[in-house]
């Protein structure tokens, strides 16, 4: 800009000088004065007639051209400096913007890394801190069942729909190593709290659990309610406790190839404890279980799904309340009808032990689960103390028709149900046989009434399970149970269903689990 002005100034000065000189020359010619002076002043060629003037004009023109060249040279010298400064300035601005963008991106990444995470999917709702030290999860299980009994002498009130389980499950972690689980159940006729416990995870091999939870004995019983093959567990599970309260030490060893659990609990009678939130006797129960899956991490595919172990318990039953007998409230059929209860006034009194060898096997779509339970319990009617030895066993098999892998846990369909795409989910056929034998001494010792109870039952069941997706499942199954040892007469219609006659029941279930 400065050089341009300078150039204009030079040109204007030179041109101005020409006009000035021409004007002075014209004025001198007109007045006739100062002729010498006029001759000294150069003028435009058009106005001057002499050769000298022309030469002078030419000299001036050359002078102007020289000045213009100098100005141009100056312009050329100054122009690059300005451009360079401008370019450098722009370059800095671009670099600053680029760097600011990098910093903003880093800040965004850092912020995302420290922001709490919310996830919602097939595994439920989860809200966790960025470092996962704090996690809250919401799961749920809803099971709507129907039971239809056949050839039941028109006994009333047993056919129909029921909300078998309706459990919101609140679980999570605090301070990285402490887990918790709180599970109320709004299904059935009363609200219960099946699970309420905390677990400290020092290491996978060493975990301590306190609260109310499943007693670690029966294999089928320990399987999640959402994953069991049939609507109801088998007769074998009648002989193991359900929930119990206490302290449990547990862990997985050798990368999960073995697991153990050992605990001191209140003690619960056979398949009982769901509604119990307090204690009923002075002496604790010692429970334990070891389970091995030695090929779990091996390359031997055919053996990877083989597991076996044993669970058991030992306690001294000493119920200290009149209402708590320490005895089972009743052994039940698949249709949840009682076929054996002790007489009123009979109570547990002394040692009570259980042993349950167990195994399962899963290979491809095929699954097999079996267990045996043997128990001994000292029972008294006030006059005589008798050790009652009961036993039960079951074996169940499953086959996934659609080729998915069978599992002790949840089944994941290869293709979720979507008829628009021609996908129908996963289909599984299941079959089971189970037997429970009550010690015949219960009748001879006056502990139970053979005219109202059976001392044995055998049940077979078949079913078809449909997994629409990981969350929705539908079951259809039929169960047939026969009884031993009942000596009573066949009751009139509408009074007693079992064990006076066989039980035939058709189950359906629609389940939502997430």
Nearer to other proteins, 107 or 191 (CB): 107
In the complex, what is the shortest distance from the CB of residue 210 to other proteins, in angstroms, rounded to a whole number? 15
Do the beta carbons of residue 496 and residue 449 sit within 8 Å? no
**374 in contact with other proteins (CB under 8 A):** no
**95 in contact with other proteins (CB under 8 A):** yes
In the complex, what is the shortest distance from the CB of residue 395 to other proteins, in angstroms, rounded to a whole number? 27
Torsion angle, alpha carbons of 80, 82, 88, 94, to 10: -120
In the complex, what is the shortest distance from the CB of residue 301 to other proteins, in angstroms, rounded to a whole number? 30
Nearer to other proteins, 129 or 412 (CB): 129
**283 in contact with other proteins (CB under 8 A):** no
Among 4, 33, 77, 133, binds other proteins (CB under 8 A): 133
**287 in contact with other proteins (CB under 8 A):** yes
Do the beta carbons of residue 1 and residue 9 sit within 8 Å? no
Site for other proteins in 232-251 (CB under 8 A): 249, 251
In the complex, what is the shortest distance from the CB of residue 194 to other proteins, in angstroms, rounded to a whole number? 25
Phi, psi of 135, rounded to the nearest 5 degrees:
-135, 135
Q: How many residues bind other proteins (CB under 8 A)?
A: 31
Q: Segment contacting other proteins (CB under 8 A): 98-106, 232-240, 356-364, 451-459?
A: 98-106
What H or E segment, with its residue span, contains residue 87? helix 51-114
Measured over the CA atoms of residue 85, residue 88, residue 92 and residue 97, the dihedral's sign is positive
Nearer to other proteins, 95 or 156 (CB): 95
Give the span between the Cα atoms of 382 and 349, in whole angstroms: 10
Give the span between the Cα atoms of 463 and 50, in whole angstroms: 131
- Return the structure tokens found at 236: 């074998």
Among 13, 76, 100, 123, binds other proteins (CB under 8 A): 100
**286 in contact with other proteins (CB under 8 A):** yes
In the complex, what is the shortest distance from the CB of residue 295 to other proteins, in angstroms, rounded to a whole number? 22
Nearer to other proteins, 261 or 457 (CB): 261
Q: Strands 385-400 and 366-380: what pairing?
A: antiparallel
CA distances from 332 to 1, 133, 216, 256, 378 (A): 104, 44, 21, 34, 21
Give the span between the Cα atoms of 469 and 416, in whole angstroms: 5
In the complex, what is the shortest distance from the CB of residue 184 to other proteins, in angstroms, rounded to a whole number? 30
**131 in contact with other proteins (CB under 8 A):** yes
Do the beta carbons of residue 312 and residue 218 sit within 8 Å? no
Closest CA to 396 of 138, 182, 183, 223: 223
Nearer to other proteins, 98 or 224 (CB): 98
Site for other proteins in 433-492 (CB under 8 A): none
Identify the three-state secondary structure at position 324: coil
| Exposure b/e, 28-59, CB count within 10 A at least 16 = b | beeeeeeeeebeebbbbbeebeeeebeebbee
**205 in contact with other proteins (CB under 8 A):** yes
Nearer to other proteins, 194 or 312 (CB): 312
**106 in contact with other proteins (CB under 8 A):** yes
In the complex, what is the shortest distance from the CB of residue 99 to other proteins, in angstroms, rounded to a whole number? 5
Among 31, 69, 77, 114, binds other proteins (CB under 8 A): 114
Give the span between the Cα atoms of 513 and 495, in whole angstroms: 37
Among 308, 314, 363, 460, binds other proteins (CB under 8 A): 314
Nearer to other proteins, 282 or 451 (CB): 282
Q: Segment contacting other proteins (CB under 8 A): 36-44, 55-63, 260-268, 470-478?
A: 260-268
In the complex, what is the shortest distance from the CB of residue 354 to other proteins, in angstroms, rounded to a whole number? 11
Residue 123 DSSP class: T
Q: How many CA atoms lie within 13 A of 61 on its CB side?
A: 9
Q: Segment contacting other proteins (CB under 8 A): 71-79, 105-113, 225-233, 298-306?
A: 105-113
The runs of H, that is alpha helices, within 167-282 are: 219-222
Q: How far is CA 22 from the centre of its chain?
A: 102
Q: How far is CA 101 from the centre of its chain?
A: 36
In the complex, what is the shortest distance from the CB of residue 112 to other proteins, in angstroms, rounded to a whole number? 14
Nearer to other proteins, 5 or 99 (CB): 99
Residues near other proteins (CB under 8 A) are 92, 95-96, 98-100, 103, 106-107, 110, 114, 129, 131, 133, 176, 203, 205-206, 249, 251, 253, 260, 262-264, 286-288, 312-314
């Amino acid at each position: 800009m400065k050089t341009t002005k300078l150039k204009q100034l030079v040109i204007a000065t030179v041109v101005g000088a020409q006009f000035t000189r021409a004007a002075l020359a014209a004025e001198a010619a007109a007045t006739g004065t100062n002729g010498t002076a006029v001759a000294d002043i150069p003028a435009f060629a058009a106005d001057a007639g002499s050769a000298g003037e022309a030469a002078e004009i030419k000299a001036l023109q050359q002078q102007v051209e020289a000045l213009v060249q100098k100005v141009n040279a100056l312009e050329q010298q100054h122009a690059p400096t300005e451009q360079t400064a401008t370019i450098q300035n722009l370059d800095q601005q671009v670099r600053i913007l680029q760097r600011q963008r990098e910093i903003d991106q880093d800040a965004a990444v850092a912020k995302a890394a420290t922001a709490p995470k919310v996830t919602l999917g097939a595994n439920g709702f989860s809200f966790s801190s960025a470092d996962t030290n704090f996690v809250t999860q919401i799961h749920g299980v809803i099971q709507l069942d129907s039971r239809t009994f056949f050839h039941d002498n028109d006994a009333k009130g047993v056919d129909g729909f029921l909300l078998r389980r309706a459990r919101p499950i609140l679980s999570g972690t605090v301070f990285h190593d402490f887990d918790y689980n709180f599970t109320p159940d709004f299904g059935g006729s009363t609200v219960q709290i099946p699970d309420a416990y905390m677990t400290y995870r020092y290491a996978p091999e060493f975990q301590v659990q306190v609260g109310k939870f499943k007693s670690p004995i029966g294999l089928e019983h320990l399987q999640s309610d959402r994953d069991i093959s049939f609507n109801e567990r088998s007769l074998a599970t009648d002989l193991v406790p359900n929930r119990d309260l206490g302290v449990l030490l547990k862990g997985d060893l050798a990368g999960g190839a073995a697991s153990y659990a050992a605990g001191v609990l209140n003690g619960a009678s056979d398949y009982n404890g769901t509604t119990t939130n307090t204690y009923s006797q002075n002496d604790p129960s010692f429970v334990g279980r070891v389970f091995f899956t030695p090929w779990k991490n091996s390359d031997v595919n055919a053996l990877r799904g083989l597991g076996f172990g044993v669970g058991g318990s030992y306690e001294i039953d000493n119920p200290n309340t009149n209402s708590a007998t320490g005895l089972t409230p009743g052994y039940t059929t698949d249709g949840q009808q009682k076929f054996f209860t002790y007489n009123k006034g009979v109570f547990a009194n002394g040692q009570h032990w259980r042993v349950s060898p167990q195994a399962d096997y899963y290979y491809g779509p095929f699954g097999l689960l079996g267990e045996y339970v043997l128990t001994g319990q000292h029972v008294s009617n006030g006059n005589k103390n008798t050790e009652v030895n009961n036993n039960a066993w079951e074996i169940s098999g499953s086959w996934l028709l659609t080729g998915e892998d069978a599992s002790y846990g949840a089944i994941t369909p290869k293709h979720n149900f979507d008829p628009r795409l021609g996908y129908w989910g996963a289909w599984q056929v299941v079959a089971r046989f189970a037997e429970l034998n009550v010690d015949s001494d219960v009748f001879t010792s006056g502990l139970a009434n053979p005219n109202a109870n059976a001392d044995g039952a055998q049940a077979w069941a078949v079913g078809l399970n449909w997994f629409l997706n990981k969350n929705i499942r539908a079951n259809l199954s039929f169960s047939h149970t026969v009884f031993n040892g009942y000596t009573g007469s066949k009751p009139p219609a509408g009074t007693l269903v079992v064990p006076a006659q066989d039980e035939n029941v058709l189950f359906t279930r629609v389940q939502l689990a997430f």
